[in-house]
Structure 1
Amino acid sequence: MASASSDSDFEGFTIDDIEDINENKSILTSDESDIDISDYSSGEEDFDNENNTDPQHNLPPDAQPLDYLFLFLPEGFLFENVAEETNKYAQHLISVRRRNDPLWQPSNTAEMRAFFTINIMFGVKQLHRLWNYWSPDVRYGDPYISSIMSKTRYSKISQYLHLTDSANAPNKNDPNYDSLYKVRPVIDLLVNNYKTVYLPRKNLSVDEAMIGYKDRVHFRQYMPAKPTKLRIKVREVCESETGYCVNFDVYTKLGVRSTLLSYININFSSIDQNLEYSLSKPKPK
């Protein structure tokens, strides 16, 4: 299992890391959100986008779910770029350790596609232990998954999986240090495509979502009063009618508002002012 001493010492995932729950976590004792927009006013005079709302893509009516996925995460990034960065990170760790990894071979676009396919299948058929998917026991084993990739190869790709070039890692002592730099390319790509693929109607909601995460991050929340206790908090701007996510910001404790209410073609000045007031005003005792 990877050491939990420091984010900067992270050397990839093992199967046990994926399954175990790290006990180091922050605790929110209140059952309430830390966003209070009770004084929110709609600001409709600043917002007139009703005539321009529409999907902003050219997919045909019979498009497959995978076609929609690639609208937000293009194949070139999801497979080619991730394979390239994973290979670079594996070579970096091998060089730092000064010893070869006999089980590692460079990955490629086709193999990375297979890797993500397997992870999607995990959500379709859920088993108690990850290794059960490769079990010879017919009650547990999944012949489709085991035919795509061996468990050893899956484990190795998980260990070295990377999205960014480690050579460009920011200094942790920098006051503007980005705790999410390892996944920042994905976040930026998603946010940009959320904005461009669909233009929402004027009725929007600002809310929070909790994303499950079992590895170590200093900003993971522990909320004992909630059914979902160990999660990463995400603030979202969504279209009220459809629930479509227009923009989001991962709460890392380095800033409450960040880029939540700023995105192209829409003026949020009134909403932004009211939210800023709600966040800064004293809480009632």
Structure 2
Amino acid sequence: MDRSERYYKKKINLAELTDEELMEFIDSVEVEDETFSSDNSIVDPDYVVDNIEYNNSADQVIEECMNEMDEAENTDAFIAEGMNLSMNTSSIEQPAANSTLILDESVGLQKPSTSSAAITNIPLKSVKRPRSPLPTVEESGPSVQPTSGGFTGEALTAISSKELSKAIWRKRALRLHVNEVAFRGDSSLPSTVKELQTPMAFFNFFFTSEILEMIAKETNRRALEENINSTFKTTSAEIRHYIGIMIYMSVYHYPNIDSYWGQNSFKPIQNCMPIKRFIAIKKYLSFQEESQRIKKGQPGYDPLFRIRALANKLNDRFDSVPKSARLCVDEMMCSTKTKHHLRQYMPNKPHKWGVKLFVLCDTNGFAYRFEIYNGAGDNVILPNTPDLGATSNIVIRLSQTIPDFVHHILYFDNFYTSLPLLVYLRARGIYSLGTVRANRIPGCKLPTDGEVRKESRGFSTEYMTSVQGIDLNTVLWKDNKCVRLASTYVDIEPFLRANPDLQTAKVSRYDRKQKHFIEINCPQIIREYNAHMGGVDLMDSLMGRYHIQAKSRNIMMRLFYHFVDMAATNAYILYKRVRAEKANDSSNVSQEEQQYNLPQFREEIAAGLVSFKEKRPVGRQSSVQGIDRSVSQQPSPSIIGRRAVHQVDDVRFDGQDHFPIWMDRKGKKRCKYCKKSDTQVTCSKCDLHLCCTADKNYFWDYHHKN
């Protein structure tokens, strides 16, 4: 039997091995070839591969180990040092002299081989390249003013597909200078938005007091409609508490709703309201007066009447934020399996069952407008707009609030793209780009999939035409499959610039035959589409991580929870946008300002909502209920020795019900503001010890920002 075969499934004393036996054991180990077999050919073309050098063979590694072992004083020291270096854990104790090592074939140890194990070149997985900045005006370039692109039609309402049947396609390029595409509008945030600081303030910017008062009013109305003798009555403050509880439930998941008030209850929810009150609000929650609803079959019937008022108000609040330069339109799903005629099935979506929404977003995922799909008959044609078909009309309706003639660029997929839609948007001074189906291009000269089958990957061709004075460009690019796109501002080549070094367009793809990555040509139109089209999917992914999962047979309740998630996600994206603008202005940078991730941001919103109290009218305030200020109190044993928990800023600085309570001397603790002196004073609302004397009035300082 070979000596190396005795090592399998055998305990070996490290101290007893000689140098020759150790080297024989090292030679018996075969290095596995770690090659990648995955195909990354369908990933985003904005990828590059880092150049990393590798060792050619395992012999070099073994030779280096032998040299280091010769320099070491003994074998035990060499083994101990190698363990610490490879694991990078100097704090781990070194093995004792009688320590043993168990070797087993099941863990991947192979028997010795006569051939040397060479490490082949490892093809790397591609790394995402950072997005290039938006085009900016070059002073050395031509002076360009936003126009309608030479539109010669009589009016926007006269745009139709009849003119396209006369279009002549030529193999030409649509080369625009970067000054013709650069954004000319102002997307800076107003002062009212920049002054927002806390997560709850950002959320309240969308879910305003007007919306909450409307919900409280309609909820009370519904309770009386069901039972005229009902004593149920709620307020906008309780609606805030209810929404805060639902957001808490989206971050901290329990088996069911009753568990939040059960034996292992969630204290912020339990202290906010009893479970019976929560169920009562959920039962009567309403958003529109049912008596005003038009009956089905009559003109003006709206299947979304019960949620329409709330949707319109939220659309107005979302749309009050200045729009970014690049926008996109795509669909989103409000997941539910409730039986309703609005429920759709989309197998390619993460949530396959639910209500479909069409959303206008920017590249960061902020939703400016949304529209709920009502069914096949939901083809509303707005005044002074053409009828370009059901799908193109969706883009027309969502783009009505986009400013004209400031070079906004709108992206969409082949579900919406039509050439008349591109003409309409360009006539308004809005550039557009989208994937397109071949049957939607009249007289299309782009080759079919069969004609380009023998072409190599990276092949592209383009054709251009003019419709009512507006230039349209169509491009076909062969990657893993053939992709067709239509645009009014970009083609295969990059924009004309003063610096020719920037005009490069290459992407890496994995070649199965050659077993490594190769570079292929990537048209500029593909790079533009991939960089700016995923805004709706980005917002959908942010909402999917932490969303309200409460089940309901009422589909309008599911839409309401979806709107709450949209408002919270929009608040988070707007919060990051405000921080980015403040970072550019060094005078507004605050080093002590806390940075929130998404779950922390939602938790801060929930904490502010469940602790919200309506402001009292001006005048003498009544004493705090349940607090006897004439008698000193002893702190309860449950809070002795616990770590201090500070309230969120919306509660800490609200100026309501913060009263000092004097404990006896046994209740003295360290002040949570100065952290130096012991004090007997606690805040009745914050439940924190704070100094409150003539010399050190930290109670006042703690509850006031300035």
Q: Which amino acid aligns with 2:282?
A: S
Q: Which string of whole-angstrom CA distances, capped at 9 and with x for unpartnered residues, describes residues 26-73 of structure 1? A: xxxxxxxxxxxxxxxxxx854986331122352345611111122222
Mapped contact 2:361–2:367 kept (Cα < 8 A): yes
Match of 2:245 in 1: 118
Structure 1 residues 52 and 93: alpha-carbon distance in aligned structure 2, compared to 1, 3 A threshold: same
Shift of residue 121 of structure 1?
A: 0.8
Deviations 1:158-195 (A, max 9, x none): 11101111221122213432221111112111211222
Q: How far 1:74 moved relative to its partner?
A: 0.9
Asked whether the 8 Å contact 1:222–1:229 carries over to 2, the reply is yes
CA positional deviation for 1:85: 0.8
String of CA shifts for 1:128-183, please: whole Å, max 9, x gaps: 312211112x2xx2122122111111111111101111221122213432221111
Q: 1:180 to 1:225 in 2, by over 3 A?
A: same
CA gap of 1:52–1:106, structure 2 versus 1, over 3 A, is: same
Residue equivalent to 1:105: 232
1:276: how far off?
10
3-state SS in 1 of match to 2:328:
strand
Q: Which residue in the other structure is 1:172 paired with? A: 296
* 2:46 equivalent in structure 1: none
Which whole-Å deviations, capped at 9, do the CAs of 1:94-114 have from their partners, x for residues lacking one? 24xxxx55xx52111222221
- SS of 2:313's partner is helix
| CA–CA distance in structure 2, aligned partners of residues 270 and 149 of structure 1 | 48
Q: Residue 193 of structure 2: SS of its match in structure 1?
A: coil
1:239 to 348, 352, 362: 362
Post-superposition Cα deviations, 1:208-246, rounded to whole Å, max 9, x if no partner, equal: 111223544311112345431222111112123x22222
Q: Describe how 1:41-190 pairs up with structure 2 within 5 A.
A: 45-46=147-148, 50-60=184-194, 63-78=197-212, 80-95=213-228, 100-101=229-230, 105-136=232-263, 138=264, 141-190=265-314
Q: Which moved more, 1:213-222 or 1:125-134?
A: 213-222
**Stretch moving more, 47-56 or 171-180:** 47-56
Q: Please name the residue that 2:332 is paired with.
A: 209
Residue 306 of structure 2 aligns to which amino acid in structure 1? K
Give the distance between the partners of 1:125 and 1:153, measured in 2 at CA.
21
Alignment correspondent of 2:89: none
Instruction: Return the letter of the residue paired with 1:265.
Output: P
Partner amino acid, structure 2, of 1:112:
I
Report what 1:274 is aligned to.
Answer: 421
Cα 1:154–1:244, aligned 2, differ >3 Å: closer, same or farther?
same
Q: 1:160 to 1:62 in 2, by over 3 A?
A: closer
Other-structure match for 1:248? 370
Percent identical pairs in the alignment equals 25
Following the alignment from structure 1 to structure 2, what is the Cα–Cα distance between the partners of residues 128 and 112?
Answer: 24
Structure 2 Cα separation of the partners of residues 68 and 180 of structure 1: 27
Distance 1:269 1:60 in 2: 23
Q: Tell me which of the two structures has the higher relative contact order, counting C-alpha pairs closer than 8 angstroms and 6 or more residues apart.
A: 1
SS at match of 2:192: coil
Whole-Å separation in 1 of the counterparts to 2:240 and 2:249: 15
Change (3 A) 1:200 1:62: closer
- 8 Å CA contact 1:49–1:266 kept in 2: the answer is no
Change (3 A) 1:193 1:225: closer
What is the CA–CA distance in structure 2 between the aligned matches of 1:63 and 1:269, rounded to whole Å?
29
Runs of 5+ unmatched residues, structure 2: 1-145, 149-180, 380-389, 411-417, 425-435, 442-447, 449-706
CA–CA distance in structure 2, aligned partners of residues 132 and 86 of structure 1: 26
**Which has the higher Rg, Structure 1 or Structure 2?**
2
Would you say the 8 A contact 2:337–2:343 is kept in 1?
A: no
User: Given the alignment of the two structures, is residue 262 of structure 1 paired with residue 400 of structure 2, yes or no?
Assistant: yes
- 8 Å CA contact 2:196–2:202 kept in 1: the answer is no
Instruction: Give the TM-score of the pair, scaled to structure 1.
Output: 0.69
- CA distance in 2 between partners of 1:248 and 1:282 (Å): 26
Offset, 1:205: 1.1
- Per the alignment, residue 675 of structure 2 pairs with none
Change in Cα spacing, 1:220 to 1:45, as seen in structure 2 (3 Å) is: farther
| Counterpart amino acid of residue 198 in structure 2 | Q
Q: C-alpha separation between the residues in 1 aligned to 2:261 and 2:403?
A: 49
Match of 1:23 in 2: none
State the partner residue of 1:20. Answer: none
Q: Is the 8 A contact 1:219 1:232 kept in 2?
A: yes
RMSD: 3.2
Deviation at 1:275, TM superposition (A): 6.6
Number of equivalenced pairs: 228
More helix by share: 1
Question: Contact 1:211 / 1:231 at 8 angstroms: preserved in 2?
Answer: yes
TM-score scaled by length of structure 2: 0.30
Q: Is the 8 A contact 1:164 1:185 kept in 2?
A: yes
